[in-house]
Structure formats: C-alpha cells, structure tokens
Structure 1
C-alpha cells in the first residue's frame, strides 16, 4: 500500500471511530489494525512490539510518580496549605477567588505536572465557593478550566516528559524553557480576571497582614519545597527526571502521612489505586498512539503530507504559525499525548527544514496543545470542570473563549520572539544533561 492509501485508512478509520465516541486510546489501536491484517509486509507482531517499545522507557516512569504526587497533595492537605498562601498573596485583588484560582494553579503546577489533576481538585474547591460569593457560574467554570492548563507548561510537566522521550530533547531544557511562558500565561489570566472583576463587581477579601502572609508562607514551605526537588534536581544534575518524580511522590507521602498527618493508610491505599488507574489510561493511550505513529512513519505518510509544505520554503516564524495552527486544531479532537507522538513526529522534519530550534518547536507545540485541554469537543479540563459544576458545556463556551484570547497573544509571542523564551535554557545550557 502507498502513503495515500494508508493515510486514508488510518486517518479515516480513526475519524469514524471518534465520531462513534470510541475512546481515543482504543480508536488509535483499532485504526491501526487494517494495515497489520491485510498488508503482507507487516503483521500483528508490530502491535505488540511497538507498544512494548513505547513503554520500555525509564523516562516515562516519571508519569505515574507525578500523578501520585498530585493525588497525595489533594488527599493529604498539601493543596489546602497552598490555597491559604494564595489567598494571602492575591486575596485583596478584585475577583479574589478567581485570582487565587490562578495562583494556586501555578503552585500546583510546580508539583503535579497534570492539568487534569489540577482541574479535578480545584473544581471541587473553587466553583462552589465562587458561585456562593456571587460569581457567575459560567465564569467560575471557565476560570477553573483555563487556569488548570498551567500545569502542562510550568515545569515539571507530564507533556514535557512525553515530548522529551518521543522527540529526543533534553527534559532539563524543556523545564527551564517552560518557566517564562508559564509565568506570562499566569499574568495574562490574572489580567483577564481583573477586567472581569472590575466590570462585574466581583468581591475581594481584606488585605492580609504581613504576619498572616508570613504564617501562610511558613505553613506552605514544606509543600513549596517540592518544586525545587522535581525541577531543581533535574536542572542541576542531582538526579534524572524519573528519579526526581519518584522522590517528589515519596516526599508528598511523608508530608501527608507523617508531617501533616491528614492521610491514613486506608486513604493512602485508595490514592495508590487512583494513581494506577489514571497512569494506566495515559500510558495505554501512549502505546496505541506509538503503533499508529509507527505505521505512519513506515509508510512515509508524513513525507507525503508535508511534501508541498516543504516546497513553500517557510521561514521560522511562518513555520511556527503553521505548527501552532495544526496543534490547535488537532488538540480539539485528540488528547495531548497521542498528539505529541503522532503529530509531533510528523511536523518535526518540517521544523528542521526551516531551521527552527528543537526547543522552540517544543514550546510552541506544548503551549498550543494546552489550548486543546479547554476547547470543545475534547477539552478534557473543561469537561471535568463542567461535570463538577453541573453546568452544560454550551453555557460556558463564551467565557472560556474570552479567557483564551490573552493566552493566544502569549502563544504569538512564543512564536515570534524565540530569543526571549530561549534565553534561560541557553544560559543554563552547560549544566543541563540530555
């Protein structure tokens, strides 16, 4: 079979299965079966071999450990202490609860690396509280969903680990590279909340005294130390990304069980079960996406798809906008992990032809895919927030799209001003490992 036939079979079957609401992981695996069954050049052994190869990665062990750290944080009172600190920092701003929502996402991002874990925990905390304080329900849901995407951009990030393992780039460089885009997105979200709060007269809390701020910081210090373990350990070469994730998970357990004493053994076991379930879903999706991606590469489908794009001879900026556009569209229909494995690999030759820095490509891809977590119809974080609130999806679309506009401006700066966002990784280059 030629590239055109394979592309039609793989992509067509996958699209039909998605329309039939087959889960993405299963849809990718089932769509891969026709070439394996009917082309004598390949056989079903490829399915097993490629799935095993995708799992046989020391780096990917970081995924369940990051999820464990996030789950223990939520169950063990660590998130509550970060919430107290965020109130002390921004509780006096207009739209206090919404501002706290954004700041807590930044603090949570430094530990969990999972946007869905952030959305699940903060939907339970903030949406009922914001509605009770007079915030519009649609705004509350949108604010919670949009702020949760900071967890995939601010290091450590599970998507960064997947990107590094799939496209062979330094995890340390990605961690440092994600700091500035993450902080810029945080400021954009806070500015958006300020405008909303001013126009709709959302309430604020009394300004915290220095003593209250110091007390909140003191209580949160053990939890805030975790990001330095995860990101700092990798950046300064003390241990690998996987080892840092394992240490962070262990540290979270010690805090929750021994220091704060808010997690007993029964609850800890339940947390392990939840972590195993979420990790299995993520990694199974990675496995079937790897088979799908291997078939595309084997039949040279990317070469055929990008043949005309390469002939356009786009520069770095034009290529950046093209890459962002593809990821923004794909992210609406596909989970970020298979999108990285499949689309990331397809677009990589195009970026190389344009002379784009691999780290610049990674930042554009990851920031673009963050939008997909809150854009319908897939928008997993938005679905989690709407499910927690009981609000129908169509009722929150307008506020969600409005809050995404400042994020889009940040993405444009990432594309057009790579020298700014690559400054820190280039500065730290000599101390970063592979």
Structure 2
C-alpha cells in the first residue's frame, strides 16, 4: 500500500500490515505455524539477537502472522507499534512491566472490569507493586492520588460493565502534568469508536478476544505504543532509559526512540514473561478485524434500540447505556465516541438479586457466558461471576451491584433480541412485567 494517501478505517482494517505472501503469493496472511526460523548465516543470527536487525528468531518473541496483526492494530489505533500477547490480562501486565518496580504504584479507575480490579488490588502485590483506585470523574482525586512512586494511570475508555464513558483527554492532561503515562483499555470501544491516543493516551491495551476478533473463538491481547512519551525525561523509567544488562548496556529509549516501549515489550517482556500469542489466534483475529467497522455499526444500532426499550420496561429500574439522553455520560459520549456509545451496558432489575438470577436462567437467544464483544448477544450477572471476588462496596463502585445484569449486544435482529428480553423479564418479575 502506498503511503501517499491517507487511507480510511475500512481500508486499513483489511490491508494494514498485510502483503501477499512472498513465497506463494497467498492473498490472506498465512498461519506461520513454526516455532523457529532459519538464520541466513551466523552474522545474521548475531545481529538479530543483538537487536541490530529486525526479523524472526523464535515464536515466543516474533512470528510473521502475529507481526501482521501487531501492525494492523497499531495502525488502527494511530500508534507507532504494538505487541500482541496471550490475553487481555497478559496485555495489562505487559503494559506495566517496563514501567514498574517494587514500591511503585498505578492509579486506576474504580470503574474497571472486575478481573482487572482483582489483578491490580491483589495479584500485582506479589511483584511489590500497588494500585490506588479513584473515581476518574473526580479529576482532583486523580491528581491527589498521584505521588512520587506513581508510574502510570490506568482507565477504560468505555468501562466494563456499565458502559461509562471516560473523559480520556481530561485524565491525560492530569497524567501529563505529573509526568506519568496514561494507559487506556480500549477493549469495549475498539479504535472504530474511540482512538485514545488522539485524546492523549500514552499506551492502549486490548483484550483482542472481544470485539477485535468478534467471534468468540480465541483469546489474545495487545499493547499499543503511541510513541509520544519521553521515557528519559524524569528518571522514573530506568528499564527504558538506563543501560540494559541483558543487551550489553543498550538503552532502549536512546537506541529505538519512539519505538522504545515496543522493542522492550518484545525483547524483554515476551522473552522473559512468555505471554505469547499463538499464530492461529492471530489469524482468527486478523479475519475478525476485517469486518470490525461493519460489526460495530450494527452493535451500536442494536444497543441503542434495545437500551431505549429496556428503559421503558416496568421491571427495569435503570439502564446505564451512555447513548440514552438520561445517562450522565450522554454529552461526553458525543465527544469521546461520536460514532456511538458501544454495545456494552447494564440494567438494574427492581426485583433485585433473585430477579437477576431468574432472568439469566430464562434467556434463549442471549448466551449466559463470561465474555463480551461477540457477534452473539451475551449476558451475565456480574456480582455473582466476573465481579464476585470484589467487596460489595467495590461491586457498587464498578457498577456491578447485586441487582445488575450486564449485556453485550450482538448483531442479530434487534426485534428478536427485544422479544427474548421481554419473555425473560416476564419470568423474572411477572408482577411488574404485567403492569
């Protein structure tokens, strides 16, 4: 593809990073199901291991199929590079790994996926890291939470489970003033709806398992580097600014410039953490991304119609979809994600916990699974599943209280989905549904 023209999203989601296979002329990116790759000679091998030349060594580090996916995701997000890995949770650790040291902390939004809250509040303690959770709508609280040991600020563009819209630019300004990077989980939004780098984010992480793949077949993650952060400015990020003993004193930022974080993610992160994406998973995700914009348009249209219907249902107490005028995030959504507020949201049932459980057991088209972003419509009771490990206070702060159901609206016929919701609500709260 020539670089003389600025291609549109629909073109890039199909072509970015991909070229006909040089050996066979195959148009679709092949699955390079190979553990290792032959070196031209001893000098070539040495250059690759010294990071003096870019190429393929071993599929824990680099693989041609995965490389195409990395370039495509980076291009769609407006980044300079990306590193793909085995899951969204792996991507979060990969993003923090070059930044953190024992005693350091990350300032995180209270509105995060329950698994992320658990990872940040419990698991990362084993690395000597810690997290401070604050309401990102309160910029003063974010500012006050950042201290001398803070190495990153972390939030979700469209938060799971409630679909809350983050003011990425405002939080980015706070992080910039403190000299720390802002990491945005863009899983629920995708670059079709939100491009966090354009709003000031330093790094973007994805669970590619969700909307990017879109078909519920494989797990994966990605970390996208904006290339805009000065890793050497403050001395807070020695992994990127100071000599690396494993590479004879090479300084990643000095050597690789705006690609320092990406190279570190491969040469250190994947090398030592081993959170590798397999080439078949990359292939499935590449095929999924080819239809991303088409799917997201339908996801958003269906979500808007269904959320509007749910808001009027007598058994429903409230709906959190930001596309509704009643949402406190409605005006923000017009700026942050003008193409739509996504397709992930929650609704609260007046019948409480018991009604939620009955509802979940009564759906027919909706699938009761611990996933989101599928072509199929999905639902789950977060308080008893994905957010079960959290305290009641944490569940409420995350928007996953005991009376709340999370839905991920798929691309089926919207009227069929409404009919399924209607019959399930009638069984969950028969008296109110009959009103």
Q: TM-score, normalised by structure 2?
A: 0.30
**Larger strand proportion, structure 1 or 2?**
2
Higher relative contact order (CA 8 A, sep 6+): 1
**Relative to total residues, which structure has the larger helix share, 1 or 2?**
1
> How high is the TM-score relative to the length of structure 1?
0.30
